[in-house]
Structure 1
C-alpha cells in the first residue's frame, strides 16, 4: 500500500532513515485522520522532542511531506498544515472524478473473487469503525478502500496521483465537513461494490461520480476545532493505530 499504514510511534529504529520514516508516517496519518488541523504549525524543535529524534531527521521528514503536498514549507515561517480553500476543493474533486471514475470503469466485472473479498473486508471494517465511533479508523479505511481500487486498475500513475489527493481531501473534510460525519459512508462503498461486481463499467463510473459528488456537496461552512499540542496529538489517548 502507499503511505496510509499503521505506525506505533515507538522509538525502536535501528537507522536514521527508519526514524525519519516514523516521523513522516505519524505526521501524514495525523493530517489524514484530522488530528492535525489545517493551519497547524509544525515546529522542528517541538517535533524532535515529541518523537525523541534529532532536528535533522525531523527536517528530512518535513521536506518529504512538503514534496508530497501533505504540508507546506514557508520561508521564515517553517512547516504548516495547508488550509485549502473551497476553490481548491473543486479542483481536487474534479481530479478525483476523472481518475476514480476511470478506475472503476476499467475494473468493473473484472475483479477476482479474492479482490472482491478484500474490498468487502475493508467496507465491513469501515462500517464497524463508523458504528463504534472510531472516526480516525473509519477515515483510514475509507482512504485505503479508494487506493486499493486504484491499485487494482494496474495503473501506478492513478495510484500516485490519488495518493497525493487524499491528504488535501482530508484537510477539506476537517475544514468544511460538519463534525460527526465520516469522510466517506461505508454504505456508499457497499453500493460501489455491487456495481463493480455486476458491471458494466459505465454503471460503476456513474456510481463513483455520484459518491464523490455526495462527498463534495457535504462540505459546508468552516468548522472551528480546539487546538491540541503535539504531545496530545501524537501521544495522547485520542491517537488511534493508523
Structure 2
C-alpha cells in the first residue's frame, strides 16, 4: 500500500529531514553552516541533559547494552565498516537519550539526528575519517560511576569533536 510510505515521507518532511519539491521530487536537504551550528547547539544542551539524567536512572541492563554498542562500534571501525559504525554511533546517542527516561527529550534528539544524519554520513565518507568513540567510552565510565557531570561533559566533547569534521565538509560543499 502506498499510504504508509506517503505518510512516512510526509512525516519526514514535517520534521525537515526531507524536502518535497514535487510529488515525484523528494530530496534530502543540504544543511548550511548556520543550520548545522543551530542543531549542534541544541544537541549540546539536550544530549548533555540526557546524559546527566541517564546517570541517575541507568540500570545494569542498560549499561550492558551500552557496553555492547561500544564493542560492536569498535569492531566496525576496526573493519572500516563506516555504514555500521555510523549506525552504531547514532544508536549510542539515541540509547543514551532513552536511558534518561524522558520520552520528549528522546523525541527531540531523534529529530535532530534525522536532520543531521545525512550530513554526518556524507562528511565521514568524504574525508574517510577514522571515527573515534573514546568519548563514548568516557560516557560509559561516567554512567558506571553515576557521575552526571562527567557524563554531560563526555557527550558534549563527543558532539564538539565530531562537529569539526561536519563544519569542514560544509565549507568544502558550499
Query: Does the alignment reach a TM-score above 0.5?
Result: yes
Structure 2 residue aligned with 1:179: 127
Q: Where do residues 151-162 of structure 1 align in structure 2 (5 Å cutoff)?
A: 151-162=98-109
Residue 114 of structure 1 is matched in structure 2 by: 61
Counterpart residue number, 1:89: 36
The 1-side partners of 2:121 and 2:61 are apart by 34
- The TM-score normalised by the length of structure 2 is 0.86
Match runs of 1:142-221 below 5 Å: 142-177=89-124, 178-181=126-129, 185-219=132-166, 220-221=168-169
Matched, 1:74 2:21: yes
Mapping of residues 126-141 of structure 1, within 5 Å: 126-141=73-88
Q: What CA distance in whole angstroms lies between the structure 2 residues aligned with 1:59 and 1:106?
A: 36
- Offset, 1:74: 2.4
Mapped to 2, the partners of 1:143 and 1:77 lie a distance apart of 29
Q: Please state how far the C-alpha of 1:175 moved relative to its aligned partner.
A: 4.9
Q: CA deviation at 1:110?
A: 4.1
**What is the CA deviation profile of residues 74-119 of structure 1, one whole-angstrom value per residue up to 9, with x for unaligned ones?**
2587311100011111000101011110111122254221110110
1:148 deviates by 0.8
The C-alpha deviation readout for 1:41-66, integer Å capped at 9, x for no partner, is: xxxxxxxxxxxxxxx66544422321
* Larger helix fraction of residues: 2
Find the structure with the greater CA-based Rg.
1
* Contact preservation (8 Å) 2:55, 2:100: no
Q: 2: CA distance between counterparts of 1:188 and 1:181?
A: 16
Q: Deviations over 1:173-204 (max 9, x none)?
A: 2454552126x522221111011111321121
Give unpaired runs (5+ residues) of structure 2.
none
Asked if the contact 1:109–1:197 (Cα under 8 Å) also holds between the matched residues in 2, the reply is: no
Contact kept, 8 Å, 2:40 with 2:159, in 1: the verdict is: yes
Say which SS state the counterpart of residue 127 (structure 2) adopts. Answer: coil
Name structure 1 gaps, 5 residues minimum: 1-15, 21-55, 225-242
Q: Summarize the Cα distance change of 1:202–1:58 in structure 2 as closer, same or farther, 3 Å threshold.
A: closer
- Aligned residue pairs total 170
